[in-house]
Structure 1
Amino acid sequence: MNRLRNLLRILLISLTALLVDSCSKDSIDPKENPQTVTSQVSIVTETNVVSEPSINGAFKINLSEAVNNITTVNYTISGTAINGTDYKELDTKISIPSNTISVIIPIEVYDDQETESNETITITLTSTSNPKVTLSAVKSAMITISANTETFTLLPEETRNYMVNPNATNETTAMFYNLKTISKTNYLVGQHDAFSSFYMDIGGDSDIKKTTGSDPALLGSDFMYITDDANNETSSNWYFQQEQSIKQRVTEAYNKGMVNIFAWHFREPFEGLEFYTSQMSDYQKQNAFKSILPGGINHDYYKRKLEKIAEVAKSLVDNNGAYIPFIFRPFHEFDGDWFWWGASYCSPEEFKTLWQFTVTYLRDDLLVNNILFAFSPDNKFNTEAEYLDRYPGDAYVDVLGMDNYGDFISMTQTGVDEANKKLKIISDLAIQKVKIAALTESGYFVKPGVTDPDPQFYSKNLYEALTNNDVNLAFMMFWNNDAEKYCTPPPGLATTNDFILFTDKPESLLQNEIPNMYELPL
């Protein structure tokens, strides 16, 4: 009897072990269950506008994660252009090979030798053959076929097709449309911290309003204090107090009809103290950017910072409960080496990867729908190719910008011409890509006793850079004034009259001259 019991016990243990082993293999062995990844498929355009006879384009189908088998993506084709007549015929499905992240649907435009109005091609993803691959929120994209990209006209009802976020709020969409439309004839004049930073610390109205009688048309702010590690979100905390003050000023600007734009002087992720490389260790400089990339040791830290930005974005609401839109300008002046996100500390591909992650995390995961994204190098480029070296793609950028102080410092015509040449590159690209062009940060700092004022900086040098050679910009922004120096002169200074001449130019718009930026025309 005991022998029989022992045999039964051994048999039971063996059967249990076999079942456990079998279950374990079913759940974790990728060879037995290769499709363990859940991925989302989205569509973007390689360029928003193509033209007859030779400027072609493409749609790009992207997976958020590669999968281990072939995935067929089905789609519909619509628009006013005729498949197979106006462009080379397309199928209504495409296969993504296993372990591949993206595929291209090329658009080869046919030249029919006829003068036509703009025509459109819209592809909408409908389903996939893979149950582990689902459609993302970005499942439709549009390309316009234009007889001439120079004559392209953005229609209000088509605006979302050219924006980073097809689910943008009505107010954000209207802001994009109105900025794009304004750029054909005018530009908004803005200033960073206009409501909180003043020359000689003389508060009250903005320094621009003290001089001109009107506030600027655009207000610059910064996420620096808001995302600081020391912000513990308690009422007695200085950083949290700054967050509340910034939100109040942004709301004030919006209520005045102004446009808001945020920079981000993001402190390095190891100690959270500095953003200038001159104040960082060699290890921090060489590793800060890489550490916040997907898979990096500080990537979760970076996600928490983006979650804070999303929280603030969703807390900015007007009296009707609508989200207040703003332009977000992360990683600005990235072609220099003074910030840890500069070109010396990351490759172009690493920069693009982080930019794309930033956009998709805010848009797709955190569902922020009131942001336009601005790409803003310094003035280190001289060609279109150099400007686009770190460009993450049309699907991830709304505003093509440039920061530029260096070309104006010499106070020479050569410097003015250099600035204008670079703005022309941006302006032409914005026309081709249906984006917004801007001088996102600039100025000439005057510090009495140290820096001599330029008597014609505003009405000649800056104005010519902004307008010569048919440059079309939606806005330009001066940096802030402070106790010791100014970018925009208050009344009674040597350059005050020159500044007034600049703001009186027919192209220059201040707050009291701008149209309703947050409504689309009927």
Structure 2
Amino acid sequence: MKKNLFSTKLLLIISFALLVFSCKDDDEVTGTQRYKEPPVLLSSIPATGGTVSFADNSIRLIFDREVTVVDLGMVSVNNAIISGSSISGDTLIFTLDGIDEKTQYTLTIAKGAIKGVPGLLNQEDITVSFNTGEAPALTKTLVTPNASAQAKNVFNFLLENYRNKIISGSMARVNWNTDEADRVYRWTGKYPAINTFDFVHLYASPASWIDYSNTTVAENWWNNKGLVSIMWHWNVPIEGTSNFGFYYTGKNNGEGETSFDITKAVQDGTDENKIIKADLDKVATHLLALQAKGIPVIWRPLHEAAGGWFWWGAKDANSYKALWILMFDTFKAKGINNLIWVWTTETNDNSWYPGDAYVDIIGRDIYNKKDAAAIYKEYLSIRKTYPGKMVTLSECGNVANISQQWSANAKWSWYMPWYDYNATDESEHSHATKAFWTDAFASDKVITRDQMPSLK
């Protein structure tokens, strides 16, 4: 009896051992097999043939095991850029730059670009195709309550042409003139459609050399079907002197610098606040004078704030936004209704944005950038951040030709090169050469003043 019991136990032990070794062999075979196979794509987000928002900028690929990227340069997507990759377990994530609306894209991972862990390099191309949907609808109403008929006409004109054509613009030679536009006319036989003026010398007006109360130059431009734009390099007193400046201390090599404190300027009752309110009253007088003559204004104040080089951007975002809203509310209380409000982004500065209720158009100032694809990348990033707003090249200088930018899909509402104070008709222009303007006006996508309708 004991012998039989011993035999039975022995058989059980042997059977268990055989089972264990059999399973081990199976595991070893399976593992060996995996080492001999390339990774297999199981699914993707978006799925092949799917449609995603044009604001999406990543694609996720789920494999049957962990993978590594051997050569990111062997991964591509048509009409866009692979800017990075990351791995989370069996999921490979690619970050895409340049994804636009209503476009079909195909991500291609070339043979040998990725490797399974464990496993081999991918032995054939892996592709995922997807489509992007339309961008969200643009805001069709101005933020100014009871906007004037002329302001509405201009805004609707901008909306109608946005991403279909680009409107040409020029900057005054410092303040209250059309000198740059006149030079462009002498070069090309055509005027830009927009002329931008600057209240930079508000503190000195009226004077023999500057008088903003004389609106003849703006009237003539508007009466010739041109659009009037005004910006404001806001000069304030420089402490301990009789001079004025708009650069913050330490931002312009000592020239025109002020330590004027915006955090105090937005506090009722401070000396800084009194200066601000007096200037707003003065500007309001000039804007109301234009309004009385039926002239709408594309208004771009407090620009490039997040850069920190102007006093209005030298402190914090909340103080800046408070100043913007103070200006907006002051003008509203005075009955100013002829403005189209343009806010200028430095990109990645959404915390400085005053809000959709206070801004009609988003501007971007770009200098010394000849790469049209890089400019398009900025344009698209802004569109995605502020999808309900038109985007414009509010200032530029020494950039890719407008035809190149348009071909790269940087379809700004308008463009405006900065002035060159010392330029002549014969000399090179530091921001926009004769060749730049000739190229722009040769395009049927560029609107010049002679092509403008009456928007009165």
2:302 corresponds in structure 1 to 331
Establish whether residue 347 from structure 1 lines up as the match of residue 334 from structure 2: no
**Against the structure 1 CA distance between its residues 332 and 174, is the aligned structure 2 distance closer, same or farther, given a 3 Å change threshold?**
same
Establish whether residue 276 from structure 1 lines up as the match of residue 247 from structure 2: yes
1:238 corresponds in structure 2 to 208
The alpha carbon displacement at 1:279 in A equals 5.9
| CA-to-aligned-CA distance 1:279-336 (integer Å, 9 cap, x gap) | 6989x8554222211324311221111111111111115xxx5531101111111122
**Residues in 2 aligned to 1:165 and 1:495: alpha-carbon distance in whole angstroms:** 37
**Residues in 1 aligned to 2:418 and 2:134: alpha-carbon distance in whole angstroms:** 33
**Residues in 2 aligned to 1:217 and 1:357: alpha-carbon distance in whole angstroms:** 31
Unpaired runs of 5+ in structure 1?
1-52, 55-147, 200-204, 445-456
5 Å-filtered alignment, 1:15-164, equals: 150=135, 152=137, 159=140, 162-164=141-143
Residue of structure 1 aligned with 2:380, choices 408, 424, 429: 424
2:274 corresponds in structure 1 to 300
The alpha carbon displacement at 1:196 in A equals 3.7
| CA-to-aligned-CA distance 1:339-387 (integer Å, 9 cap, x gap) | 2123xx2211111111111111111x21111111110134xx3xxxx14
The alignment partner of 1:341 has SS state of helix
Aligned 8 A contact 1:458 1:499 in 2: no
2:64 corresponds in structure 1 to none
Per the normalisation by structure 2, the TM-score is 0.62
Residue of structure 1 aligned with 2:230, choices 238, 262, 267: 262
Establish whether residue 475 from structure 1 lines up as the match of residue 414 from structure 2: yes
Aligned 8 A contact 2:147 2:338 in 1: yes
Aligned 8 A contact 1:207 1:489 in 2: no
**Against the structure 1 CA distance between its residues 487 and 334, is the aligned structure 2 distance closer, same or farther, given a 3 Å change threshold?**
farther
**Against the structure 1 CA distance between its residues 423 and 163, is the aligned structure 2 distance closer, same or farther, given a 3 Å change threshold?**
same
Per the normalisation by structure 1, the TM-score is 0.55
The alpha carbon displacement at 1:474 in A equals 1.5
Q: Which moved more, 1:257-266 or 1:205-214?
A: 205-214
**Residues in 2 aligned to 1:405 and 1:294: alpha-carbon distance in whole angstroms:** 35
2:403 corresponds in structure 1 to 463
Unpaired runs of 5+ in structure 2?
1-51, 54-132
Residue of structure 1 aligned with 2:365, choices 400, 403, 417: 403
| CA-to-aligned-CA distance 1:231-253 (integer Å, 9 cap, x gap) | 3x4xxx336x43245x2211111
CA RMSD of superposed structures (Å): 3.4
The alpha carbon displacement at 1:498 in A equals 4.9
**Residues in 1 aligned to 2:363 and 2:453: alpha-carbon distance in whole angstroms:** 22
2:220 corresponds in structure 1 to 252
**Residues in 2 aligned to 1:489 and 1:191: alpha-carbon distance in whole angstroms:** 16
Given residue 325 of structure 1, which amino acid in structure 2 is its aligned partner? P
**Residues in 1 aligned to 2:392 and 2:425: alpha-carbon distance in whole angstroms:** 21
**Against the structure 1 CA distance between its residues 404 and 498, is the aligned structure 2 distance closer, same or farther, given a 3 Å change threshold?**
closer
Residue of structure 2 aligned with 1:391, choices 326, 350, 353: 353
**Against the structure 1 CA distance between its residues 472 and 166, is the aligned structure 2 distance closer, same or farther, given a 3 Å change threshold?**
farther
**Against the structure 1 CA distance between its residues 309 and 179, is the aligned structure 2 distance closer, same or farther, given a 3 Å change threshold?**
same
- Which has the larger Rg? 2
Establish whether residue 187 from structure 1 lines up as the match of residue 158 from structure 2: no
5 Å-filtered alignment, 1:344-383, equals: 345-363=314-332, 365-378=333-346, 381=347
**Residues in 2 aligned to 1:297 and 1:357: alpha-carbon distance in whole angstroms:** 16
Given residue 297 of structure 1, which amino acid in structure 2 is its aligned partner? D
Query: Which structure has more RCO (C-alpha within 8 Å, separation ≥ 6)?
Result: 1
The alpha carbon displacement at 1:397 in A equals 0.3
**Against the structure 1 CA distance between its residues 270 and 335, is the aligned structure 2 distance closer, same or farther, given a 3 Å change threshold?**
same
User: Structure 1 vs Structure 2: percent identity of aligned residues?
Assistant: 22
1:507 corresponds in structure 2 to 445
**Residues in 1 aligned to 2:266 and 2:425: alpha-carbon distance in whole angstroms:** 37
1:166 corresponds in structure 2 to 145
Given residue 442 of structure 2, which amino acid in structure 1 is its aligned partner? D
